[in-house]
Amino acid sequence: MSDEDVQLEARLEEQEVFEPSASFAEQANVTDEGIYEEFEENWPECWEGAADLLDWEEDYDQVLDDSNPPFYEWFTDGTLNASANCLDRHLEERGDEAAIEWVGEPVDEDNVTYTYEELHQKVNEFAAGLREMGVGEGDVVTMYMPMIPQLPIAMLACARIGAPHSVVFAGFSADALATRMNSADSEYLVTCDGYYRRGDPLDHLDKANEGLSGVDHEVERTIVAERLMDGDGFDHDYADNQVAFDDVIADNEGAEVEPVDRDAEDMLFLMYTSGTTGKPKGVKHSTGGYLAWAAWTSQAVLDIKPEDTYFCSADIGWITGHSYIVYGPLALGTTTMMYEGTPDYPDKDRLWEIVEDYEATQLYTAPTAIRAFMKWGKQYPEQHDLSSLRLLGTVGEPINPRAWKWYYKHIGGEECPVVDTWWQTETGGMMITTLPGIKDMKPGSAGPPLPGLDVRIVDTEGDEVEPGRAGYLTVNKPWPGMLRTLYKNDERFIDEYWAEYSDTDSDDPDDWVYFPEDGAKIDEDGYITVLGRVDDVINVSGHRLGTMEIESAIVGVEGVAEAAVVGGDHDIKGEAVYAYVITEDGYDETEELRSAIIDGVEDAIGPIARPEAVIFTPELPKTRSGKIMRRLLEDIANGEELGDTSTLRNPDVVSDIATKVQGD
């Protein structure tokens, strides 16, 4: 490093507060600090502005109906269509502008630009095809697809005809697909033949077919997008109810499908996410409130303008891709990028090459990626002109100040504000973050809650804790983007998110408090630092995995008697999966069993859940009431001093396990 670099690093290291640059602030979508007070005074009508970002078929009567908490309704009796809002209304002014810039992983391939006109056409054709196959309003269509353009086309086609979609991340296993299709009673699947990962074609249809064999009801139709290039395909015979995506499009060439009027509260989509029990939760999102929230936060926080080329590197298989690759950006009529591959293929500068080539104006990514960029080194971004970037964002897990500053300096050139956005699948969109044109940034802290949100940090009794003290994050007022319930499971919805801090017998909305199950602290300025999950959910590379889900996969392996899974610290992934396993009598602690366990987890969930370490142990540390003390297992995984073991039924076991882990 040059002297200058060293000085700069040292200055950055110490700096705790960063102001947005004047050049950014001047042009920001939100410039008036008064917005916080105004929203507080004018609540819930303050959200009319978000609804105004959309085109409504039928105006709504009431902004919020809170007569039956926690089943809040937003923009009641209003009707609209999400696909019309993301496509049709932009045609006149932006028909020839790019809606989606798609970049495939192979470098020498022709990438595809879809103008609004073209995307609109494809969506209409596919919507006509879906209808013809019998997909009706309210039917859940499952999508099991990687980052290929047919995925947003299918999503928007579903939205057009009022069929909720349920997108299952392509990296999930066949079993995970089956579980989700079964839970949603979904009779239609859109998938693909394969895709590219680090240069190799991957067979995806094989996995989809295996998943289909585990579906407990009849599947009417499977539509297969043919992504692989000539010569890379795998041998697949289509079953009678399977049809190629392109054939559906070709059969409906030129079709026009009138967008269906949907009630604001009608389900736009389902998104399964991990919780504390083994069964994934089907988070239900609405059409009006969700879309308004995705659009408003895209505008206020990501500062999206129609002429931008906005790049979010998440996968559409997660909520981030739903809200901030598809719905938010397209509702605002901007150009949204989609990249199929990984950031290190063919080399570790791939994202920077894309930013330069397309002159991307925003980059929204995850701390796990930023930690990897840091490890690879600044020489990769330095090879490219990143001056088109105006704003940077992160989401998915806490970002440590060092990674934040690296991102700010080496990607943003100290000119771009960094928005550290806290939110969840359940919240639909961003909740806690700085408004980039008006708020100072504090690396490591997400920032204040967005205007109109009442977020408090409380103790176990529900009383607010002092600034600086750790407590639990709570949201004390509803917001338009919130989940409406868990699919067909109102009871679990109340249990998981409300019961902890609400008076569940009350009809008064003031007695209802949403609990996201995260720990956090707040500082004197109202900036919130999110500390991480307080439930049994592990955050691996920004992806939520339930320990119960992984444990049930492990105990399904022959030879395993009992298992406990915890998250241990990991440089790149944030957390990694540590599995403590007790073998059944008659089974040895062999390498074969270890591999079988790892394979078992991959089969049940997918490679992201792959244990970093499998530790065989004769016993697990348990309290006298038989509860596994995960905290101790976490300490062991992290090589930390062991906490209090006095409440254990079997205190000796921890030191035995610790010795074993160090020996491994």
Q: Footprint of ligand WTA on this chain (CB under 6 A)?
A: 273, 318-320, 395-398, 420-425, 446, 516, 518, 530, 532-533, 539, 544
**d(C-alpha 263, C-alpha 321), whole Å:** 24
Strand-strand pairing, 281-286 and 73-76: unpaired
CB of 544 to ligand WTA, least distance (A): 5
| Dist CA 309 CA 27 (whole Å) | 16
Cβ closest to ligand WTA, residue 116 vs residue 497: 497
Name the residue nearer to ligand WTA (CB basis): 242 or 273.
273
Residue closer to ligand WTA, measured from CB, 483 or 601: 483
Instruction: Return contacts of 502-508, CB within 8 angstroms, 24+ apart.
Output: 502/70, 506/69, 507/67, 507/68, 507/69, 508/69
Q: Tell me how far, at minimum, the Cβ of 79 lies from ligand WTA, in Å.
A: 28
Closer to ligand WTA at the Cβ: 319 or 597? 319
Indicate the pairing of strand 188-192 with strand 194-197: unpaired
- Nearest approach, Cβ of 152 to ligand WTA (angstroms)? 18
| Shortest Å, Cβ 428 to ligand WTA | 10
Shortest CB 542 distance to ligand WTA, Å: 7
Name which of 424 and 552 has its Cβ closer to ligand WTA: 424
> In the complex, what is the shortest distance from the CB of residue 227 to ligand WTA, in angstroms, rounded to a whole number?
25
Cα gap 72→66, rounded to integer Å: 5
Please say whether the beta carbons of 385 and 411 come within 8 A.
no
- Closer residue to ligand WTA, CB minimum distance, 46 or 531: 531
Nearest to 324 by CA among 395, 420, 418, 400: 395
In the bound complex, what is the minimum distance in angstroms from residue 569's beta carbon to ligand WTA?
15
H or E segment and range at residue 296: helix 288-300
| Cis peptide preceding 306, ω within 30 of 0 | no
Burial call 571-604: b when 16+ CB within 10 Å, e when fewer: eebbbbbbbbbbbeeeeeeeeebbebbbebbbbb
Residue 271 host element (H or E): strand 267-273
Distance of alpha carbon 175 from alpha carbon 130, whole angstroms: 25
Q: Cα(157)–Cα(352) distance, rounded to whole angstroms? A: 32
What minimum distance in Å lies between the beta carbon of 327 and ligand WTA? 14
Q: Name the closest residue to ligand WTA (Cβ).
A: 425
Q: How far apart are CA 429 and CA 47, in angstroms?
A: 14
| 70 or 398: CB nearest ligand WTA | 398
Between 150 and 179, name the residue whose CB sits nearer to ligand WTA: 179
Q: In this structure, what are the phi and psi dihedrals at residue 472, rounded to the nearest 5 degrees?
A: -110, 140
Q: How many residues does the chain have?
A: 664
Cβ closer to ligand WTA: 538 or 579? 538
Output the CA–CA distances (angstroms, integers) from residue 1 to 165, 183, 237, in the order listed: 51, 55, 58
Closest distance of CB 567 from ligand WTA, Å: 11
Closest separation in Å from C-beta 169 to ligand WTA: 10
Cα–Cα distance measured from residue 306 to residue 565, given in angstroms and rounded to the nearest whole number = 46
Please state, in angstroms and rounded to a whole number, the distance separating the CA atoms of residues 472 and 463.
10
Q: Which is nearer to ligand WTA, 81 or 421 (CB)?
A: 421
267 beta partners:
286
- The whole-angstrom distance between residue 439's C-alpha and the CA centroid of its chain comes to 25
Please say which residue, 106 or 532, places its beta carbon nearer to ligand WTA: 532
Rounded to a whole number of angstroms, the minimum distance from the CB of residue 329 to ligand WTA is 16
Report the alpha-carbon distance of residue 50 to residue 428 in Å, rounded: 14
Give the nearest distance from C-beta 524 to ligand WTA in angstroms: 20
Among residues 320 and 336, whose Cβ is nearest to ligand WTA?
Answer: 320
C-alpha neighbours within 13 Å on the C-beta side of residue 407: 29
Closer Cβ to ligand WTA, 252 or 273, answer by number: 273
Nearer to ligand WTA, 350 or 533 (CB): 533
Q: State in angstroms the smallest separation of the CB of 398 from ligand WTA.
A: 4
Nearest partner of 450 among 430, 471, 464, judged by Cα: 430
Both tokens assigned to 653: 């076991």
Q: How far is the CB of 503 from ligand WTA (least distance, A)?
A: 24
Are 597 and 570 spatial neighbours (Cβ–Cβ below 8 Å)? no
